[in-house]
Amino acid sequence: MRTSRPVLRLRNLSRRIGHTDNTRIIIDSVSFDFERQKIYTILGPSGAGKSSLLRLINRLDEPTGGEVTLEGKPQCDYSPCDLRRKVGYLFQTPHLFPGSVRDNLLYACSDLSEEEIRTLAEQSHLKTEMVDRSADALSVGEKQRVALARLLATKPTLALLDEPTSALDPAHTAGIESLIRELANQRGLTVIMVTHTPEQALRMGGESLLLVSGRLAEHGPCDRVVNYPQTESGRMYQRKELR
Amino acid sequence: MNSIGFTEVLIALSLVLLSIVVSRYWKIPVQKDMALGSVRAFVQLVAVGYALKYIFALDSVWVVLLVIMVMILVGAQAASGRVTGIRRGFVITSVAMTMGSLLTLGAMLLLGVITLEARFVIPLAGMIIGNSMNASALTVNRISADIRNNRLAIETALALGKSWREATLPYQKEAAVAGMLSMLNFMKTVGIVALPGAMTGMILAGAEPFDAVMLQIVVGYMLLCAVTITSVVALELTVRRFFTSCHQLVLPMD
């Protein structure tokens, strides 16, 4: 039974693109409550609207219908810049700005103390000496850790992760997955992570949401969504008929 | 130097014929363009000569303003034709060029550096508009291309809570420099690598070299100011096209 107020509430959230005679539905009336300090994975076939849903939550795209409420306050009551500092977003391919790792952390929050920079680096499993290394000289796995640390620098309450391991090899993938779980526990973050592999959803634990053609087809504990789907769409996804 | 009339122009035409012969010998396929271009230049310039003679004789402020506006609109149309990747480029180039040209000319008139006479204002406006035209097209093209090519970097910055202005700052700087670059290079090399047109024209017309130099310096400063204002306005108007009021990146013509 859910007792605490959800950190994020989606109500009939929709996004359509195109003009009246050629409209495409990207997100179709999605409603869901995300609780604090939990990990959520979003599953679904390609083009189901997984990344688009994250973009609507971060307001990188504008919903065409419905409502997003963050900590009890409608999304549009926040200035877009304030909202995005509360709702961190990690892209599939990490982009680091020119300069050092420190420069990247300071870009997100210019008044970070030396102590805070060191803590962020440690929490993101970055060696302390790496802080002064050029961002260009890092591997993709290291870049993704820096991008995670940079996201944390704005002290978000919610982290939206868009397939953060898709460009990584299995060893780095495992490292980033454990880092995300750790950060969710240590910092009390709510994590919403897009993944296209049910196996990753099972490894991350928490709850899963299955999106099919922009609609929320199924949700619940990840084991149930992945292994014991209750809907026809869920069973088709399990049988890999939707991927 | 002798005064130049139609006879001298016809004699100079022999140089065009020489160019056609040389290009034909080397099989460079430009003879038609050369012939047409020479005729076109002759007709256009003679027409402009008569028009300017008439306009100078009128010496009316309204006629001068009308001529300048027509020059700006024609220049803006030409500049927008070189703009790619953005809709209604004409609005951007015409507003930027109007602001760059009129503010510069207005400042020079108010400060008393030039007088409101058609024979001064129109040739200067022509130089200013020509340079503003290039600056606006270069700036718009550069910033449009940079925004399209750096979508991930810009959205990463936006997702970190940066405004569209902060997210595009590095590209804005580069685009502004691109728009002003030819003018900056001109300022560096003027008088050393090449003698500029206004100065050369005055010297050929018999003016004292020092007077010609003074005028050229004023012209150079005016062009720098006009190009700077045009680039900045074009930049501002173009970048705004790519973002909503909620700091969301939208790529026009997608």
Print pLDDT tens along chain A (243 aa).
445 789 999 999 999 998 777 889 999 999 999 999 899 999 999 999 999 999 999 999 999 999 999 999 999 999 999 999 999 999 988 999 999 999 999 999 999 999 999 989 988 888 888 899 999 999 888 899 999 999 999 999 999 999 998 878 888 888 889 989 988 888 889 999 999 899 999 999 999 999 999 999 999 999 999 999 999 998 998 888 776
Distance CA A179, CA A147 (A): 12
- The total of other beta-carbon atoms located within 10 Å of residue A2's CB is 7
Query: Do the Cβ atoms of A95 and B156 come within 8 Å?
Result: yes
Find the distance separating the first CA and the last CA of chain A, reported in whole Å: 33
A183 touches chain B (CB under 8 A): no
- Please determine, for residue B68, whether its predicted confidence score (pLDDT) is greater than 70: yes
Distance CA B29, CA B37 (A): 14
> Mutation test of the interface with chain A: which of B156, B162, B165, choosing the one with the most A Cβ atoms within 10 A?
B156
Predicted pLDDT of residue B254: 46
B250 lies in some domain: no
Predicted pLDDT of residue B173: 94
| Residue B253 structure tokens | 């013509």
CA distances in angstroms from B6 to B18, B43, B116, listed in the order given = 19, 12, 31
SS3 A214: coil
Of B152, B157, B246, the CB nearest to A80: B246
Per-residue DSSP letter, A72? T
Residue numbers in A near B152 (CB within 8 A) = 91, 93, 95
Query: Do the Cβ atoms of A80 and B162 come within 8 Å?
Result: no
- Pairing type for strands A207-212 and A65-70 reads unpaired
Q: How far is B244 from chain A (nearest CA, A)?
A: 9
Task: Name residue, tokens 């609780």.
Answer: A35
B254 lies in some domain: no
Query: Do the Cβ atoms of B248 and A151 come within 8 Å?
Result: no
**Residues B53 and B65 reside in one and the same domain:** no
> Which are the contacts of A144, defined by CB distance < 8 A and separation ≥ 6?
A90, A94, A164, A165, A167, A168, A172, A176
Tell me the ipTM for this assembly.
Answer: 0.92
Distance CA B193, CA B98 (A): 31
B177 lies in some domain: yes
Task: Name residue, tokens 């930049």.
Answer: B235
Q: Tell me how many domains chain B contains.
A: 2
B210 lies in some domain: yes
Per-residue pLDDT tens over the stretch A163-208: 998 878 888 888 889 989 988 888 889 999 999 899 999 999 999 9
- Pairing type for strands A190-194 and A39-43 reads parallel
A58 touches chain B (CB under 8 A): yes
Q: Which residue of B has its CA nearest to A62?
A: B248
Amino acid sitting at position A153: A
Distance CA B209, CA B202 (A): 8
Query: Do the Cβ atoms of B159 and A154 come within 8 Å?
Result: no
B3 lies in some domain: yes
Distance CA A57, CA A228 (A): 28
**Residues B147 and B77 reside in one and the same domain:** yes
- Pairing type for strands A73-74 and A65-70 reads antiparallel
**Residues B32 and B66 reside in one and the same domain:** no
The answer to whether B179 and B143 have CB atoms below 8 angstroms apart is no
Query: Do the Cβ atoms of A62 and B246 come within 8 Å?
Result: yes
Distance CA A65, CA A49 (A): 15
Query: Do the Cβ atoms of B158 and A91 come within 8 Å?
Result: no
| Residue A165 structure tokens | 């391991």
Predicted pLDDT of residue A239: 86
Could you tell me the pLDDT band of residue B103, with boundaries at 50, 70 and 90?
very high
**Residues B144 and B48 reside in one and the same domain:** no
- Please determine, for residue B6, whether its predicted confidence score (pLDDT) is greater than 90: no
**Residues B207 and B122 reside in one and the same domain:** yes
* Chain B residues whose C-beta sits inside 8 Å of any chain A C-beta: 152-153, 155-163, 244, 246-249
Domains in chain A, CATH or no CATH each: 8-238 (3.40.50.300)
Predicted pLDDT of residue A186: 83
Q: How many contacts, defined by CB atoms under 8 Å, are there between A and B?
A: 49
Q: Which domain holds residue B20?
A: 1-58
Query: Which sign does the torsion angle of CA B28, B29, B32, B37 carry?
Result: negative
Residue numbers in B near A62 (CB within 8 A) = 244, 246, 248
Task: Name residue, tokens 């400060």.
Answer: B111
Query: Which sign does the torsion angle of CA B211, B212, B215, B220 carry?
Result: negative
**Residues B41 and B131 reside in one and the same domain:** no
Please choose, from the candidates A156, A133, A135, the residue with its C-alpha nearest in 3D space to the C-alpha of residue A147: A135
DSSP sequence for A138-201: S-HHHHHHHHHHHHHHT--SEEEEESTTTTS-HHHHHHHHHHHHHHHHHHT-EEEEE-S-HHHH
**Residues B123 and B227 reside in one and the same domain:** yes
Write down the mean pLDDT value for chain B: 91
**Residues B203 and B132 reside in one and the same domain:** yes
Residue numbers in A near B161 (CB within 8 A) = 81-82, 84-85, 108, 154
Distance CA A219, CA A209 (A): 4
List of E strands, B115-207: none
B40 lies in some domain: yes
Listed residues B16, B31, B58: the one ending a domain? B58
Residue numbers in A near B246 (CB within 8 A) = 59, 62, 80
Amino acid sitting at position B73: L
Residue numbers in A near B158 (CB within 8 A) = 60, 84
> Which are the contacts of A130, defined by CB distance < 8 A and separation ≥ 6?
A101, A121, A138, A142
Distance CA B56, CA B120 (A): 9
Query: Do the Cβ atoms of B159 and A108 come within 8 Å?
Result: no
Predicted pLDDT of residue A122: 87
Per-residue pLDDT tens over the stretch B185-233: 888 888 777 778 788 888 888 888 888 888 889 989 999 999 999 999 9
Query: Do the Cβ atoms of B156 and A81 come within 8 Å?
Result: no
**Residues B174 and B196 reside in one and the same domain:** yes
Q: b vs e for B14-38, b when ≥16 Cβ sit within 10 Å of the residue's Cβ? A: eebeebbeeeeeeeeeeeeebeeeb
B126 lies in some domain: yes
> Mutation test of the interface with chain B: which of A95, A109, A158, choosing the one with the most B Cβ atoms within 10 A?
A95
**Residues B47 and B71 reside in one and the same domain:** no
A42 touches chain B (CB under 8 A): no
Percentage, residues of chain B above pLDDT 70: 98
Please choose, from the candidates A29, A1, A31, the residue with its C-alpha nearest in 3D space to the C-alpha of residue A15: A29
Backbone angles phi, psi at A10, to 5 degrees: -110, 130
Predicted pLDDT of residue B1: 54
